[in-house]
Every structure is written in C-alpha cells, then in structure tokens.
Amino acid sequence: MVIIDLMAVTMGVAMGFLAFLVIGGLTGVFALLFYPGQRRTKPKAKKFLIAALISFLAALASSYVGQFSGFFQSGQMLEWLSTIVVSSLVCCLYAAVSRKAI
C-alpha cells in the first residue's frame, strides 16, 4: 500500500514537471513567433530554445509561488491559468528585448 502511494506521488510530480515543460515551452515559442513588429530575420533554433527555457522556468516559478503563498493548490485551474499567463508575459518581454537588441 505504501509503495503504491509513493509511486502515485512520484508520478504526480513527474507529470506536473512534464506538463509545465510542455505548457511553458509551447507558450514561449508561440509568444516568440506571434510577437508583433517587424522581423529582420527568422528566429534561429537557439532563440526558440531560450524562449522555451525561460517560459518553462516562469511557469514553474509561478506555480510554486502561488502554492507557497496560498493562492491555489496543485492541480487547480487557477494554477494552470497563472502558468500560461506568466510564461506568456515573460516570453513576450524576452521577445521585445531580443528584437530591440538586433
């Protein structure tokens, strides 16, 4: 019984990590692609990877900060909404800064 509970907890943590990786990565790439403005060159793979990593870290941080502060619990809809919004905002900021630097 204890092994099954431990396995369920481990799978829940792994699935949460993968979900934040997918949500953060996709919102980061979409924010980089659909950010308005003129584009001088097509973004390279390095920019896509950096955008995905930044937005993944933002999604993970928003989840942990929201749970720590008591706004929501793990798995609630507000947690998913906050991860999507925060990762999109952070990656839009990255896209704006990277376009100004070019």
The pLDDT tens digits of the residues spanning 53-98 come to 898 899 889 888 888 898 888 777 888 888 888 988 898 888 888 7
CA distances from 2 to 7, 11, 13, 50, 57 (A): 8, 14, 17, 40, 32
Q: What's the pLDDT score for residue 14?
A: 60
**pTM of the predicted model as reported, rounded to 2 decimal places:** 0.76
16 is written with which tokens? 């949460």
pLDDT surpassing 70 at residue 7: no
Average of pLDDT values for 37-53?
77
Q: What's the pLDDT score for residue 2?
A: 53
Higher pLDDT pick, 83 / 39: 83
Tell me the C-alpha distance between 48 and 32, whole Å: 7
For residues 67 and 79, the answer to whether their CB atoms sit within 8 Å is yes
Q: What's the pLDDT score for residue 1?
A: 53
